[in-house]
Every structure is written in C-alpha cells, then in structure tokens.
Amino acid sequence: MELHPKQPTAKGPADWFTGDVWRDGLANGQGPSSLSVAAVHFSPGARTAWHRHAIGQTLYVMEGEGRVQSRGDDMATIRPGDVVVTPGGEWHWHGAAPDHLMTHLSVAEGDPEWGEHVTDAEYGG
C-alpha cells in the first residue's frame, strides 16, 4: 500500500479549455493501465475543447449544472447525480452552464486527443 498526499489543484490549460477550469487529480492507473480520475471544477460558461479518449470517458456530476455534447448530437443539460458515458473515439465536449458552476468526476481511459475550441454558437446550442 502507498499513501499519496493530495496534490495541489491545477488550473486547466488554455489549449484545452475556454474559461476558468480547475482540476484535482485523484488517481492514475498502475502498470499498463491508462486510467485517470479527476475532479474538474468549471466556472460559469467554462468548457472543454472538443476532444476524444482512446478508450472512453465517464463523467459523474457532483454539483451545479452543465452541458455536454457529442459531435453531431444535440447538446444536453447535466445535473448532480447524472452519469455521462462517452465511448472511445467519440468527439465531445462538456462544461458548466452559463449561470452555474459545475463540478464532475472524470474517469478516463486512454490519452485524450484535443481538437478545436467549442465556439460560442456551439455552446449556445
């Protein structure tokens, strides 16, 4: 068993996010596993860029209100207790609603591939 002290909260890089986003890394896979678990905190209107994960990503909304969208699908509103499962290779984005903070747990497998930023028109639905 190993005890890992809590790491500092990290600001999300501008290449990956629009707006203020903060990330608390919680766990990483061991050995060949590419698993990562993080609590991600979005300020109102903040969001990821379009991205996809090699194996997939699951989000669990902890607080606030957010938005998610897979490329080609309608945007959806997410609230505490909602679970969003995105299969590997699917381009998507997620973030906070315009007037709410939002925090979700992200459980991702496989390195992300980052695309272009979500435009205001895409974010507005």
Give the right CATH number for 10-114 from 1.10.3470.10, 2.60.120.10, 2.60.40.10, 3.40.50.720. Answer: 2.60.120.10
Q: CA-based angle 111:44:103, to the nearest 5?
A: 50
Domain ranges in the chain are 10-114
pTM, whole model, 2 decimals? 0.93
Pairwise CA distance, residues 62 & 57, whole Å:
16
pLDDT class of 95 with cuts at 50, 70, 90: very high
Tens of pLDDT, residue by residue over 7-55, are 899 999 999 999 999 999 998 887 788 899 999 999 999 999 999 999 9
